[in-house]
Amino acid sequence: MSKLTGVLYGCLIVFLGGWFLGEWSGNFSALLLVLTLITMVYWLLERYHFAPQRVATVATLAAQADVRRRQLADQGITRVDEDFGPARAALLAQPWWLDWTAGLFPVILAVFLLRSFLFEPFKIPSGSMIPTLLVGDLILVNKFHYGVRLPVINQKIIPFHDPQRGDVMVFRYPKDPRIDYIKRVVGVPGDEVAYRHQQLYLNGVLAPTQALPDFYNEDSLRYSAQFTEDLGTLKHQILVDRSREMFLRQIAPFPFSENCVYNAEGITCKVPPGHYFMMGDNRDNSEDSRFWGFVPDANIVGKAFFVWMNFGNVKRIGAFQ
């Protein structure tokens, strides 16, 4: 078993190394599931085979020692300098390959359950959600807000809340589900979403905005116009760069692309059932549903709600809208 454990750890190190170096992609949820199952097998073997076997060995040695002491006593020898304490401890101790498998099972199981059904950490990799979220923010994603989903396959089994306009949501990128994206929900099923001349329209009505002081981006060292946008139930901040209005175009065909019309003014889309229209708060620096289409319900990961750390600015810690 020790050789098998060494081989398994070797495979894990090679896989993680190649993943870190970008030689291949990986699914962390699937990796956690595999580690949970493997360590569970070791834990069961330890509990019902190896540990009882070690206890039985110690009991056998103790019985043999008792027999020897009685034999010596029959010969008139009553003082025997024998200390089975260290030997007993050595026999009962787990070998290294059980320490690093069965011993880790409770921890790995707890992480797997927590990450799969309750909360998942996520790091903001780009500036598409500035000013709400900054590059380097470490956030928590509520995995059960929209419903309970089976890990790895992401199949919803118990529905809870439907995504609402204004929610900041993490989802699997429709073009490559191995990648997680984070954007804001601006259109729910049945909505007509239009973005024309850097202004958002929902069902033909201009989303109300209110000007705020310009936002200074410390990464790009430039100012951007900042506004409060009202999506009906939630107000949040957005950035608009009046100097660089983007020409909106479809990157590639996507499901229900016939629901969208692109022209010189912008884009108008009818959100199909079971899908959502997502946009970044940094409107002129966000690749979102305007370019690659709708997010199906099956791709939803969870609702983002809390910054738990930013090592460059601890003042970022807290809830956000």
pLDDT in tens, 197-227: 899 999 999 999 999 999 988 777 788 899 9
pLDDT for 193: 97
17 shares its domain with 145: no
Instruction: Please tell me which residue in 116, 183, 286, 289 is annotated as part of the active site.
Output: 183
Query: Mean pLDDT over residues 9-17, rounded?
Result: 83
- Tokens standing for 288? 């979102």
Query: Mean pLDDT over residues 247-275, rounded?
Result: 89
Of 20-29, 88-97, 220-229, which gets the smallest average pLDDT?
A: 20-29
Statement: residue 73 has pLDDT above 80: no
Percentage of residues in the chain with pLDDT exceeding 90? 53
CA separation (Å) from 1 to 82, 94, 96, 104, 305?
33, 13, 11, 16, 44
Of 9-13, 85-89, 298-302, which gets the smallest average pLDDT?
A: 85-89
Query: Mean pLDDT over residues 260-268, rounded?
Result: 91
pLDDT for 84: 64
Determine the distance from the C-alpha atom of residue 188 to the mean position of all C-alpha atoms in its chain, rounded to a whole number: 23
158 shares its domain with 283: yes
Higher-confidence position of 313 and 64: 313
| pLDDT class of 280 with cuts at 50, 70, 90 | very high
241 shares its domain with 104: no
In a domain, 119, yes or no: no
Secondary structure (DSSP) of 154-197 = --EEEE-PPP-TT-EEEEE-TT-TTSEEEEEEEE-TT-EEEEET
In a domain, 210, yes or no: yes
- We report the CATH number of the domain holding residue 221 as 2.10.109.10
Sign, CA dihedral 286-307-21-174, equals negative
| pLDDT class of 79 with cuts at 50, 70, 90 | low
Q: Is 265 within 8 Å of 248 (Cβ atoms)?
A: no
Q: At which of 57, 92, 112 does a domain end?
A: 112
Statement: residue 27 has pLDDT above 90: no
59 shares its domain with 198: no
In a domain, 18, yes or no: yes
Boundaries of domain holding 232: 124-319
In a domain, 282, yes or no: yes
Query: Mean pLDDT over residues 4-16, rounded?
Result: 83
Give yes or no: 143 in active site.
no
224 shares its domain with 87: no
Of 14-23, 171-180, 286-295, which gets the smallest average pLDDT?
A: 14-23
Statement: residue 44 has pLDDT above 90: yes
Instruction: Please tell me which residue in 116, 128, 224, 286 is annotated as part of the active site.
Output: 128
Statement: residue 17 has pLDDT above 70: yes
Q: Is 131 within 8 Å of 281 (Cβ atoms)?
A: yes
Q: At which of 57, 79, 112 does a domain end?
A: 112
In a domain, 118, yes or no: no
Q: CB neighbours (10 Å) of residue 195?
A: 23
Higher-confidence position of 93 and 229: 229
The average confidence (pLDDT) of the chain is 88
Query: Mean pLDDT over residues 164-175, rounded?
Result: 95
Query: Mean pLDDT over residues 116-129, rounded?
Result: 91
Determine the length of the chain: 321
Higher-confidence position of 84 and 61: 61
| pLDDT class of 62 with cuts at 50, 70, 90 | confident
Of 91-100, 137-146, 157-166, 261-270, which gets the smallest average pLDDT?
A: 91-100
Q: Is 238 within 8 Å of 227 (Cβ atoms)?
A: yes
Q: Alpha-carbon distance 309 to 90, whole Å?
A: 44
Q: At which of 72, 88, 112 does a domain end?
A: 112
89 shares its domain with 218: no
Query: Mean pLDDT over residues 267-282, rounded?
Result: 96
Statement: residue 82 has pLDDT above 70: no
Higher-confidence position of 23 and 303: 303
103 shares its domain with 223: no
Statement: residue 106 has pLDDT above 80: yes
Domain count within the chain = 2
Give yes or no: 303 in active site.
no
Of 29-33, 54-58, 118-122, which gets the smallest average pLDDT?
A: 54-58
Statement: residue 78 has pLDDT above 70: no
241 shares its domain with 141: yes
